[in-house]
Amino acid sequence: MELQTRYVTSADGTRIAISTLGQGHPLVIVQEIWLTAMETYWAVPEIRENLERLAQRRTLVRFDHRGIGLSEREVSDISLEARLSDLTAVVDHCGAEKIDLLGSISGGPVAIAYAARNPARVRRLVLLDALARARDIQRESHTRALWPLIESEWDLFVRIQTLLAAGWTQTGLDLAEANIANSTPQSFLAASRATGQHDVTNVLPDVGSPTLVMHHRRSPWVSLAVVKRLAASLPNARFVQFDQQYSMTLFGEGAIEIIEQFLDEDESGPQDDQSSQSHAVILFADIADSTGLTEHLGDTAFRDKARELDTALRSLIRDTSGKAIEGKLLGDGVLAVFTSASGAIDCALRCGAAGNDAGLPLHLGIHAGDIIRESDPDGRDNVYGGAVNIASRISGLSAPGEVLVSDTVRSLARTSAGVDFEDRGEHELKGVADPQRLFAVRAREP
């Protein structure tokens, strides 16, 4: 498939090149502003494959920022307002009442500002290693040292800059060669100066759409502290970290899995006196040998330690974008649901470490499947279904401090969780017709 390009006209008359891929609800991508032309990424097979996967159930809409790629090159205004005008023209071209919006790195302020100003147009917002203010971007010393090359050795600057961001691989080399022709030293410097002034922190409280804030653990551009601060400043945001081979495009398989699950969530939610069915990843955490620990510690000491651990576990669940289910009466355990298998595994490993540190080791089990969400008579959310029961059974089979997952979860997280899976064979689970193949999660050595 060849890249199909069309043009829209921004409010000031600038011609903006756009491409669409797939069918379904539109997902408009506001990419990193430097060296990210559409043709550049489309020419790299592994990036192209991931973009095609993202477009399997939706219309993927990308565009070249003014001054680069196939968009109009000779432009004088490259301010945030001008970029917002370009994005408005792109969204209007989609013809949909609402769109999903994704902003990455320095494209973040543009996406955030649009969502804040147009709440009726944005269904869901994804911020991928994004910034609210450009001055928060991290630049390592060797990166800053390259800037004098921009005007004197443009080709060399682009090659090294791209390889530092994308990795010293064939993909990085392909990106570098494609990037050289997609901008000029003059437009790059002008865009850098203008983008460096972007700051949308004052409009963060106005972003009302459900928002997923994602951070790559190995990001060279954005620190964890900056991304967490962004997530905490948005009214309806959840935060998740992910791990994959780092690429300046960020659209690796691990990131796409998380994005797809977030965009595909059922927005209807549970209704009064009704149940709602959806897909989720379910984590059970239960204190191992609570009876023996109570006898050893005494009732009061055990309950105090258990309450402290419960608070810590619920905090970890929130930090990894999960939701603790309040309606379940689990005794000494916690039940949580996630949209991401890799997020659930990350949370389980953290919970296991917290239990060990507290002297209260946990049984930990994870499964994925359809669940039924209901509200208890007291108004607390609850979940039911066969998948919930399987997660509970898996938890009961784990050794203290160990995380066991079903084959379903392993398949979902195989390339995105950054862990290894040790095959534990098939197990008969009480109340479950078919045997389940289980895997123990092992943290990968750095």
Query: Whole-angstrom Cα distance, residue 77 to residue 97?
Result: 29
Q: Which three-class secondary structure string do you get for the chain?
A: CCCCEEEEECCCCCEEEEEEECCCCEEEEECCCCCCCHHHHHCCHHHHHHHHHHCCCCEEEEECCCCCCCCCCCCCCCCHHHHHHHHHHHHHHHCCCCEEEEEEHHHHHHHHHHHHHCCCCEEEEEEECCCCEHHHCCCCHHHHCCCCHHHHCHHHHHHHHHHHHHCCCHHHHHHHHHHHCCCCHHHHHHHHHHHCCCECHHHHHHCCCCEEEEEECCCCCCCHHHHHHHHHHCCCEEEEEECCCCCCCCCCHHHHHHHHHHHCCCCCCCCCCCCEEEEEEEEEEEECCHHHHHHHHCHHHHHHHHHHHHHHHHHHHHHCCCEECCCCCCCCEEEEEECCHHHHHHHHHHHHHHHHHCCCCEEEEEEEEEEEEEECCCCCEEEECHHHHHHHHHHHHCCCCCEEEEHHHHHHHCCCCCEEEEEEEEECCCCCCCCEEEEEEEECCC
Q: Which two tokens stand for residue 421?
A: 């899976």
pLDDT in tens, 297-338: 888 888 888 888 988 898 899 888 888 886 544 456 789 998
* Phi, psi dihedrals of residue 280, rounded to the nearest 5°: -155, 160
Q: What is the mean pLDDT of residues 375-399?
A: 78
Mean pLDDT of 15-22: 92
- pLDDT of 271 > 50? The answer is no
C-alpha 100/C-alpha 79 separation (Å) is 23
Under the banding of pLDDT at 50, 70 and 90, the label for residue 339 is confident
What was the pLDDT predicted at 161? 77
Given a cut of 60, whether residue 293 has pLDDT beyond it is: yes
The pLDDT of residue 273 is above 50 = no
- How far apart (Å, rounded) are the C-alpha atoms in residues 397 and 304? 26
pLDDT tier, 255 (very low <50, low <70, confident <90, very high otherwise): confident
Q: What is the mean pLDDT of the chain?
A: 83
Q: Provide, rounded to the nearest whole percent, the portion of the chain with pLDDT above 70.
A: 86
Alpha-carbon span 45 to 32, nearest angstrom: 20
Beta-ladder partners of 405: 366, 439
Q: What is the pLDDT of residue 121?
A: 93
Q: Is pLDDT above 90 for 412?
A: no
Higher-scoring residue by pLDDT: 167, 310? 310
For residues 353-380, give the mean pLDDT: 81
Using only C-alpha atoms, the chain has a radius of gyration, in whole angstroms, of 24
How big is the chain, counted in residues? 446
Cα dihedral 3, 254, 221, 152 sign: negative
Question: Which pLDDT band holds residue 142 (cuts at 50, 70, 90)?
Answer: low
Checking if the pLDDT of 272 tops 50, the result is no
pLDDT in the model for residue 283: 94
Please tell me the distance from the alpha carbon of residue 169 to that of residue 175, in angstroms, as a whole number: 10
Residue 66: φ, ψ to 5°: -55, 135
**So what's the pLDDT on residue 211?**
94
Strands 99-104 and 59-63: unpaired
Listed residue (54, 53, 52, 61) closest to 96, CA to CA:
61
For residue 270, the model assigns a pLDDT of 37
| pLDDT tier, 74 (very low <50, low <70, confident <90, very high otherwise) | confident
* Stronger pLDDT, 212 or 277, i.e. the higher one: 212
**pLDDT > 80? residue 156:** yes
Q: Which residue has the higher pLDDT, 216 or 250?
A: 216
pLDDT value for 7: 95
pLDDT (0 to 100) of residue 10: 95
Domain range list for the chain: 5-263, 276-443
| Phi, psi dihedrals of residue 240, rounded to the nearest 5° | -145, 140
> What is the topology classification, in CATH, of domain 276-443?
Alpha-Beta Plaits (3.30.70)
- pLDDT value for 382: 74
Considering 27-31, 104-108, 188-192, 440-444, the range whose residues carry the highest mean pLDDT is 27-31
The reply to whether domains 5-263 and 276-443 share a CATH topology is: no
Average pLDDT over residues 4-8: 89
Read off the pLDDT of each residue in 259-275 and give the average, rounded to a whole number: 60
Between residues 177 and 198, the one the model is more confident about: 198
* Residue 267: per-residue pLDDT: 47
What topology is assigned to 5-263 in CATH? Rossmann fold (3.40.50)
Write the pLDDT tens digit of every residue in 209-241: 999 999 888 777 788 888 888 988 898 888 888
pLDDT band at 275 (very low <50, low <70, confident <90, very high): very low
Q: Confidence class of residue 389 from pLDDT cuts 50, 70 and 90? A: confident
CA distance 436 to 368: 12
Question: Nearest Cα to 325, choosing from 283, 356, 263?
Answer: 283
Spatial CA neighbour of 248 closest among 214, 221, 226: 221
The values of phi and psi at residue 215, to 5°, are: -135, 125
Question: Which segment of 212-221, 341-350, 417-426, 434-443 scores lowest on mean pLDDT?
Answer: 212-221
pLDDT above 60: residue 246 = no
CA end-to-end distance (rounded Å), the chain: 38
Spatial contact of 330 and 382, defined as CB atoms under 8 Å apart: no
Give all strands of the β-sheet with 26-30 in edge-to-edge order: 5-9, 15-21, 59-63, 26-30, 99-104, 122-128, 211-216, 237-242
